[in-house]
């Protein structure tokens, strides 16, 4: 019925189809609404991501932000919200605004600004999926943009230092998680038994926080104390993405994740080493040429 649609987004890890919140939101909505989407994970090839990710390409149309992509899918008759009442539709918008205002700054901070998390997890993961030389520049740019966003939106007086801003945004994020947990209660999804746009957004924001193994995990620990939200993420992963869920053997999954992390770090160290060797060979060659050039007048 509709033209083939291709979604370009960041790939998966730690049991998730994607570790990027916005990409995950779009993928979840596509699963909920039954939209046939071909997912192309950005990997180490020369089609480097420029600008916004995720991007939906359908024939000649290129659409870039999650809200716009979801609107497009709805116009193509892939609508996960048709059973919602008008009030529930309004509630969806309100809760999405709550997520963006209260949870997103802390999420960005956990991934991109917190130094230990960024250096040991985020940067190696993203750098390994971007071709050299962009891998040296793009993760840093994304980190600076995240910090910029946090400071511009939340960093005004009376909070004058980054630690105060951090404390405030984590407090707000924990409050937001508590509110979401109260709203979800014991139901399977936010509105009845069928997932909708709000479930896609909440899943997209919570699942990376829940699954990715960070060294500094205060928000993750808070999330793990809200069992209904964890169950919500696990249910969607097992029903819609058919991926193994860590609920039954958390220790086993944790060691697998730890091993994976060590392997990733090893691979990154090796690739760093290879790059250093390449650079030193280049320098050697350059020095030899320089010396030869200098020695020509001496010989003559």
Partner 1 sequence: MALAAEAFMTQLAAAEPWPENAALYQQLKDEQILLSDNASSLAVQAFLQMCNLPVRVVCRANAEYMSPSGKVPFIHVGNQVVSELGPIVQFVKAKGHSLSDGLDEVQKAEMKAYMELVNNMLLTAELYLQWCDDVTVEEITHLRYGSPYPWPLNRILSYQKQWEIRRKMKAIGWAGKSLEQVLEDVDQCCQALSQRLGTQPYFFNKQCKGLTFQYRRLVPKIRPTELDALVFGHLFTILTTQLTSDELSEKVKNYSNLIAFCRRIEQQYFEGHDKDSSSSATSRSAKRSLLR
Could you list the residues that contact partner 1 (CB under 8 A)?
65, 86-87, 89-91, 93-95, 97-98, 100-102, 145, 148-149, 152-153, 156-159, 164, 167-168, 171, 179-180, 182-183, 185
Taking the complex as a whole, the smallest distance from the CB of residue 90 to partner 1 amounts, in Å, to 4
94 vs 274 by CB, closer to partner 1: 94
144 vs 276 by CB, closer to partner 1: 144
Taking the complex as a whole, the smallest distance from the CB of residue 88 to partner 1 amounts, in Å, to 9
101 vs 116 by CB, closer to partner 1: 101
66 vs 124 by CB, closer to partner 1: 66
Taking the complex as a whole, the smallest distance from the CB of residue 185 to partner 1 amounts, in Å, to 7
Q: What's the CA gap between 24 and 27, in Å, rounded?
A: 5
Taking the complex as a whole, the smallest distance from the CB of residue 15 to partner 1 amounts, in Å, to 29
Q: What's the CA gap between 67 and 53, in Å, rounded?
A: 12
Taking the complex as a whole, the smallest distance from the CB of residue 105 to partner 1 amounts, in Å, to 11
Give the sign of the dihedral formed by CA 166, CA 19, CA 140, CA 217.
positive
Q: Which two tokens stand for residue 194?
A: 């069928």
76 vs 153 by CB, closer to partner 1: 153
Q: Which two tokens stand for residue 106?
A: 């802390």
User: Cα–chain-centroid distance for residue 161?
Assistant: 26
CB 113 within 8 A of CB 170: no
Residue whose tokens read 């994020």: 173
74 vs 149 by CB, closer to partner 1: 149
Q: What's the CA gap between 158 and 188, in Å, rounded?
A: 41
Cα–Cα distances in angstroms (integers) from residue 156 to residues 39, 51, 161, 172, in the given order: 40, 27, 10, 15
Say if residue 200 is preceded by a cis peptide, omega within 30 of 0: no
Ranges of H-type helices in the chain: 21-33, 66-75, 86-98, 104-108, 115-117, 123-127, 134-154, 162-184, 197-211, 218-224, 227-240, 250-299
DSSP assignment, residue 15?
Answer: T
167 vs 267 by CB, closer to partner 1: 167
């Amino acid at each position: 019925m509709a033209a083939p649609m291709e979604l370009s987004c960041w790939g998966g890890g730690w049991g998730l189809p994607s570790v990027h919140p916005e990409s995950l939101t779009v993928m979840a909505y596509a699963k909920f609404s039954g939209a046939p989407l071909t997912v192309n994970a950005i990997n180490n090839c020369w089609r480097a991501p420029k600008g916004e990710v995720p991007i939906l390409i359908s024939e000649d149309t290129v659409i870039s932000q999650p809200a716009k992509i979801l609107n497009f899918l709805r116009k193509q008759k892939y609508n996960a919200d048709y059973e919602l009442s008008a009030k529930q539709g309004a509630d969806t918008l309100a809760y999405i605004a709550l997520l963006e205002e209260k949870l997103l700054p802390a999420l960005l901070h956990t991934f991109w600004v917190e130094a230990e998390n960024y250096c040991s997890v985020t940067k190696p993961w993203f750098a390994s999926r971007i071709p050299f030389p962009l891998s040296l520049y793009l993760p840093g740019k994304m980190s600076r943009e995240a910090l910029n966003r946090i400071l511009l939106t939340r960093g005004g007086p009376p909070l004058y230092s980054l630690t105060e801003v951090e404390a405030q945004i984590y407090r707000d994020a924990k409050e937001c998680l508590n509110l979401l947990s109260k709203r979800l209660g014991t139901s399977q999804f936010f509105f009845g038994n069928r997932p909708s746009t709000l479930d896609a957004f909440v899943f997209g924001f919570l699942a990376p926080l829940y699954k990715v193994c960070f060294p500094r995990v205060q928000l993750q620990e808070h999330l793990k104390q809200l069992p209904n939200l964890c169950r919500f993420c696990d249910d969607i992963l097992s029903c819609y993405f058919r991926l193994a869920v860590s609920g039954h053997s958390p220790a086993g999954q944790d060691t697998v994740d730890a091993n994976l992390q060590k392997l990733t770090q090893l691979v990154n160290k090796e690739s760093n080493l290879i790059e250093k060797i390449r650079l030193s060979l280049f320098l050697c060659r350059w020095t030899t040429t320089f010396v030869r050039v200098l020695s020509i007048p001496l010989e003559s």
